[in-house]
Amino acid sequence: MNELKFSTGICERCESIDCLTRCQYMKMDLQTAKEERQRLLRGEKSRVLEECVTCYACEEYCPYGNHPFYHLVDQQEKLGIWPVPQPITKQQVLMMGPRGKITPKKVQPPVINMCYFPMLAGSIRGKLFEGASTIVGSDIFCNVMWLHFGKNSVIRKRLPEVIANIWDHYLKDSGVNELICFHDECYGTYTHLAPAFGIPVPFRPIHLFEYLNKRLDELQDRIKPLGQKVAYQRSCSNRLVPETQPWVDEIFRKIGAERVDRKYDRENALCCGAVFRAQQQDDLADDVQKRNLDDMAAAGAKFCVFSCPACLFTLGESVLKRGIMPILMNDLCQIALGEGMKGG
């Protein structure tokens, strides 16, 4: 049940081994990558399992969609090679678990899934979200974060229940079959991870950026071009859904913002560093964050846009200290619509 759709044959035929040779955190030449790949395919211990920082990027780099990162996480759990110390993992698994206290309610479209971030419910306001319903809580938490912990078993156990909770308690009886995912993690879970694990999704997930593009078209007469340079911080889970990148560019074009050309963006994006802290790799976190922030500042960015609330919480203060305004994408759009930021 919920077996990963992974083809050893595809990996054996692959010559470039982009999933390993393009990694920004593990450095290895092609020959070393071939040797380590064979160890992984045989189910043996590999330096890859030990050194992986769980940035998800190999999922994007694989030209065959063969899910190298999911396979890698399966191997970490099978061999007991834990990216995060076990006491922290056990605490997080317990703390983030379902509560079984979900209350069914009627919703009306658009339905915005806030996942595990009730503190951001105030972002759902103004013309962009007129008439929207929101759902939030531990019982609809997508659980993809356990990829960082080497715990695919938790995802396999909890995700089908999460999907059933969303469908049975909110969407089905309301006659709604679309769910707007506020967070990359949820959209990546339902469009990428769930199919890879053979877990059915009865509703249509829609990324927040796709929804924002549609609303900006409908509200185009209200837009006042920002005329500002903006850095975009990709989240690790955005690696699962690179098809969202054109939506980012379209949003910036529509609101008159310039996505600055910088080294650490698009396929070369760097993590926010939160996971490195959990892995007790503080030196790596400091280095990655500094390079990322230096890059934003050198590009002349006035705003740093986040798609992931966790990334915002991690980097927001440091970004602000560089004279750059940290902001969620929907808040940036609301400024362009003349509605300002919450509390502003």
- CATH number 3.40.50 given to 95-208: yes
- Ranges in the chain annotated CATH 3.40.50.1860: 212-336
Tell me the two tokens of residue 334: 């609301």
Tell me: the pLDDT tens digits for 139-189?
Answer: 999 999 999 999 999 999 999 999 999 999 999 999 999 999 999 999 999
Q: Residue 122 has what pLDDT?
A: 86
Tokens 């951001």, located at residue = 120
Strands (E), the chain: 111-113, 133-135, 178-181, 204-207, 228-233, 257-259, 303-306, 325-328
pTM: 0.94
Residues of the chain with pLDDT under 70: 1, 341-344
Residues whose CB falls within 8 Å of the CB of residue 28, separated by 6 or more in sequence, listed in order: 20, 21, 36
Classify domain 212-336 at the CATH topology level.
Answer: Rossmann fold (3.40.50)
Q: Residue 5 has what pLDDT?
A: 86
Tell me the two tokens of residue 328: 């969620």
Tell me the two tokens of residue 25: 């955190």
